[in-house]
Amino acid sequence: MIASPSAPTADRAVTERLNLLDLAPDDALGVLAGFMAESGEAGYRAAQVYARVWARPVGSFDEMTELPKALRLRLAERFDLPRLTLQTRQASTDGTQKFLFSLRDGQSIETVAIPEGNRLTLCISSQAGCALQCAFCATGAMGFQRNLTPSEIAGQVRELRLLDPPLLATNIVFMGMGEPLMNWKAVDVVLTLLNDPRALGIGARHITVSTVGVLPGIEALAARREQFRLAISIHAPSDALRRTLMPVNVKYPLADVIRAAAAFDRRVTFEYVMLEGVNDQPEHAAQLAQLARDCRAFVNLIPLHPGGALGFTPTPGARIAAFARAMRDRGVEVAVRKSRGLDIAAACGQLRTERLGRRLPVRPEDHEHIDVG
């Protein structure tokens, strides 16, 4: 049933349906079990329905053709499985694809799918816009619109599974629009949905939360039992410089962020966007190496994605390589990322995070630490 704007009663019926995609698996299975019991259905039906929500998804209850028609109709009256509307899909010559989804209130968000070998990394958005105003970031320039709900965040992964042929993500990075740790309530549920085998079933070590260093959020992530990965956007190795690039540094200064990274019981990755003449000098390499050593971080050097970061130019490749060598000479593990989807990012200009690693050689025992997609 589709509610039309001129039919307020129908509208109300739609909003009263419970959105199953906003619930963690235990909660969703609980309400489904209750519904089956009160409808006189067999108990196994709850898990049967839930398997078609995330794991082998279909777009609507009506498509769950293994269920009796009458049950499908009653499920659709009681529960909502909201879709994200695919507005545009663009493919880069390098295989990267970008999806623009519109939400029920008209906001739009981007998701990027980055293939590499056997892996498919999805870069997902956690907010519409962003409040943080990092100087080189195009999303910051859009301002903050609102937090996304769990169904809108995990729904990006579900929508790509619903494509024909499906795109099945092996890795997830929260490196799309927004600051995930400023939307922890939703991201907390999403992490469960991504990881739980009854939902999306992606290994925790293949799921990376990227943050500017929101301390309460880092503590909340650290408190989770699963081995989710943490990436921290450092981008400048001193408070004085970082403040000019990332206003959030006033609230969460570097020393506190590094302390939180050191306390995190899993290895942390630093993200460092190379800005020509700004943060790419030899003294910056020395300072950054010290910070990385202080918390045993792995460092990703990221070429600036051009087009949108007004006033900044990318550090040339040779200089990035020299910066990486200077870090390695100080005993820090470092990778130089490769910009991906440059052609399609230029066309849209919101997300500038389509990147993938081209790694410098690392010791074999360190390989497991570097697959932040």
Write down the residue that tokens 């400023």 correspond to.
Answer: 182
Give the residue, chosen from 81, 124, 128, 175, that forms a contact with ligand SAH under the rule CB under 6 A.
Answer: 175
Other CB atoms within 10 Å distance of the CB of residue 347 = 12
CB 136 to ligand SAH: min, Å: 5
Of residues 257 through 296, those in contact with ligand SAH by CB under 6 A are 271, 273
> CA–CA separation, 198 vs 131, rounded Å?
34
254 scored as a contact of ligand SAH (CB under 6 A): no
Shortest Cβ 211–ligand SAH spacing (Å): 5
- Min dist. Cβ of residue 302 to ligand SAH (A): 5
Question: What is the distance in angstroms between the CA of the first residue and the CA of the last residue of the chain?
Answer: 39
Catalytic: which of 110, 159, 271, 333? 110
Q: Determine, following the binding rule CB under 6 A, whether residue 191 of this chain makes contact with ligand SAH.
A: no
Q: CA–CA distance from 123 to each of 70, 178, 249 (Å)? A: 38, 11, 24
Min dist CB 132 to ligand SAH, Å, is: 6
Among 54, 352, 371, 372, binds ligand SAH (CB under 6 A): 352
Does 211 help bind ligand SAH (rule: CB under 6 A)?
yes
The stretch near ligand SAH (CB under 6 A) out of 174-182, 193-201, 277-285, 324-332 is 174-182
CA dist 73 and 85 (Å) reads 23
Q: Whose Cβ is closer to ligand SAH: residue 289's or residue 304's?
A: 304
Residue 351 and residue 110 in contact, taking contact as beta carbons nearer than 8 Å = yes
β-strands 207-211, 97-102 pairing: unpaired
Q: Smallest gap, in angstroms, from Cβ of residue 264 to ligand SAH? A: 15
User: Does the annotation count 130 as an active-site position?
Assistant: no
Binding mask 295-324 for ligand SAH (x = CB under 6 A): -------x-xx---x---------------
| Part of the chain binding ligand SAH (CB under 6 A), chosen from 27-35, 186-194, 204-212, 327-335 | 204-212
Q: Rank residues 309 and 326 by Cβ distance to ligand SAH and give the closer one.
A: 309
Closest CA to 244 of 129, 130, 137, 134: 134
112 DSSP β-pair partners: 98, 123
What is the distance between the alpha carbons of residues 216 and 214, in angstroms, rounded to a whole number? 6
The residue from 63, 219, 276, 348 that is catalytic is 348
Concatenated DSSP letters for 275-340? BTTTT-SHHHHHHHHHHHHHTT-EEEEEE---SS-TT--BPPHHHHHHHHHHHHHTT--EEEEEE-
Query: The dihedral of CA 136, 139, 141, 143: what is its sign?
Result: negative
Query: Which 127-156 positions form the footprint of ligand SAH (CB under 6 A)?
Result: 134, 136-137
User: Does 228 engage in binding with ligand SAH (CB under 6 A)?
Assistant: no
Closer residue to ligand SAH in complex, CB, 32/300: 300
What DSSP line would sit under 154-171, residue for residue? Answer: HHHHHHHHHSSS----SE
Residue with Cβ nearer ligand SAH (129 or 150): 129
Write the DSSP symbol of residue 16.
H
For the chain, give percent helix, strand, coil, nearest 5.
Answer: 40, 20, 40
Out of 21, 32, 191, 212, name the contact with ligand SAH by CB under 6 A: 212
Residue 343 tokens, joined: 């052609």
353 sits near ligand SAH (criterion: CB under 6 A): yes
How near is the Cβ of 105 to ligand SAH at its closest, in Å?
22
Q: Which is nearer to ligand SAH, 271 or 280 (CB)?
A: 271
Annotate 205-241 with b (16+ C-beta within 10 A) or e (fewer). bbbbbbbbbbeebbeebeeeeeebbbbbbbbbbeeeb
- Cβ 124 to ligand SAH shortest distance, Å: 10
| Catalytic residue list contains 295 | no
What is the nearest approach in angstroms of ligand SAH to the Cβ of residue 229? Answer: 12
Residues known to be catalytic: 110, 348
Residues lying near ligand SAH in the complex (CB under 6 A) are found at 134, 136-137, 174-175, 179, 210-212, 233, 271, 273, 302, 304-305, 309, 352-353
